[in-house]
Amino acid sequence: MNQTDSVSERTITKVWSAKLNRISSGHSNSLILEPGHWAEYDPFLFLAEDWFQRGSFDVHPHRGIETVTYVMEGKLEHYDNKTGDKDELLPGDAQWMTAGRGVIHKEDPAEGETVHSLQLWVNLPSTEKMTDPRYQNLRSANMPVRTEDGVSVVIFSGSSGGVQSNTQNIVPVTMVDIQLQPGASLKQDLPGSYNGFFFVLQGEGTFGREKTKGVERQVLWLGASEAGQPSEVSVTAVSHLRVLLYAGEPVREPVAARGPFVMNTEEQIWQAYQDYSNGKFV
Ligand code: FE2
């Protein structure tokens, strides 16, 4: 029997909940993907959920990564040294920032607002770590939506059921925000090489081939599939379900990470600090 055209159904290999940390009176966070699991989470470096007020983060640099900030609640102001402009992200908006060789930026809630956001760090391969910085503001109203009976999938990156987003990727990433009515099901297609996970924002559902249960605030990690082959993962809502799926092509390179910089070697990290303090990020 020829298996080359078969679509493998992903399982869920791990389920967990992140604990909530109080950083200050105006800032709490949760490390949904903790840093340090470089090979396991590849190409993702970490995912942080934050609830924060103005002044929680100061101006800071990045190099060697992309950050994907998704605003759940509140108005988030963004300033960077490239455009010199202030952008605003509203609930449902995302910003895909390619730090590449270097950006200096600040992410600050509007006065009096508490922002609830998710920030994912995506690794860049050695050949692209020093690429030109780029910002893509992904407004919820402009994102393509896959709609089926009881199913709505907002596609921030990659594709779902043949509906494709225009978001430019260096490392290919699928990011979709899925809403299902109770009893509705979705099959999300993914390249077999991708690593990925669900993060449940609201409700309860079953996930993957074994129909693993997942509830609000849980992470469900996808089992591996075969590179070069198509795969899919199924989701069924028990109650009204809102869940994010992030999946991406692994980079498979050594990771040297310190503070806001993620490179391949310690020497490159040292160089990043040197370049930043010598004003080479502007
Ligand atoms: Fe940042």
pLDDT tens-digit readout, 34-76: 999 999 999 999 999 999 999 999 999 999 999 999 999 999 9
Examine residue 282 and state whether it is found in any structural domain, yes or no.
no
SS3 82: coil
- 93 Cα–ligand 1 center, Å: 16
Q: Which of 173, 174, 177 minimizes the C-alpha distance to 199?
A: 177
| pLDDT reported for residue 2 | 44
Band (pLDDT 50/70/90 cuts) for residue 227 is confident
Residue 111 buriedness (CB in 10 A; 0-12 / 13-18 / 19+) = exposed
Q: How large is the greatest C-alpha to C-alpha distance in the chain, in angstroms?
A: 63
Q: Is the pLDDT of residue 131 over 70?
A: yes
Residue 118, domain extent? 8-277
- 100 Cα–ligand 1 center, Å: 13
SS3 244: strand
Examine residue 2 and state whether it is found in any structural domain, yes or no.
no
Structurally, how many domains does the chain consist of? 1
- 78 Cα–ligand 1 center, Å: 10
- 106 Cα–ligand 1 center, Å: 7
| pLDDT reported for residue 87 | 87
- 131 Cα–ligand 1 center, Å: 17
- 133 Cα–ligand 1 center, Å: 13
| pLDDT reported for residue 80 | 83
Instruction: Give mean pLDDT, residues 10-14.
Output: 98
| Token pair recorded at residue 178 | 């899925």
Examine residue 233 and state whether it is found in any structural domain, yes or no.
yes
| pLDDT reported for residue 66 | 98
| Token pair recorded at residue 191 | 């390249």
- List pLDDT tens digits, range 150-179: 999 999 999 999 999 999 999 999 999 999
- 165 Cα–ligand 1 center, Å: 24
- 181 Cα–ligand 1 center, Å: 35
Give percent of the chain with pLDDT exceeding 70.
Answer: 96
- Strand ranges of the sheet holding 134-138, from the earlier edge strand across to the other edge: 20-24, 27-33, 44-52, 115-123, 65-73, 94-98, 134-138
Examine residue 1 and state whether it is found in any structural domain, yes or no.
no
Examine residue 3 and state whether it is found in any structural domain, yes or no.
no
Rounded distance between C-alpha atoms, residue 28 and residue 48, angstroms: 10
Rounded distance between C-alpha atoms, residue 53 and residue 110, angstroms: 8
Q: Is the pLDDT of residue 252 over 60?
A: yes
Examine residue 206 and state whether it is found in any structural domain, yes or no.
yes
Place of tokens 């090979």: 39
Rounded distance between C-alpha atoms, residue 250 and residue 164, angstroms: 21
- 80 Cα–ligand 1 center, Å: 10
SS3 273: helix
Rounded distance between C-alpha atoms, residue 48 and residue 29, angstroms: 7
Examine residue 134 and state whether it is found in any structural domain, yes or no.
yes
Check: CB of residue 96 under 8 Å from CB of residue 136. Answer: yes
Instruction: Give mean pLDDT, residues 232-253.
Output: 98
Q: Average per-residue pLDDT in the chain?
A: 95
Backbone angles phi, psi at 137, to 5 degrees: -90, 120
| pLDDT reported for residue 83 | 66
For position 122, which CATH number holds?
2.60.120.10
Rounded distance between C-alpha atoms, residue 4 and residue 157, angstroms: 27
| pLDDT reported for residue 6 | 83
Angle, vertex CA 109, rays to CA 103 and CA 257, nearest 5: 40
Place of tokens 């007020």: 53
Q: Is the pLDDT of residue 84 over 80?
A: no
SS3 268: helix
Examine residue 257 and state whether it is found in any structural domain, yes or no.
yes
Instruction: Count helices and strands (H / E) in the chain.
Output: 2, 27
Pairing mode, strands 218-222 and 12-17:
antiparallel
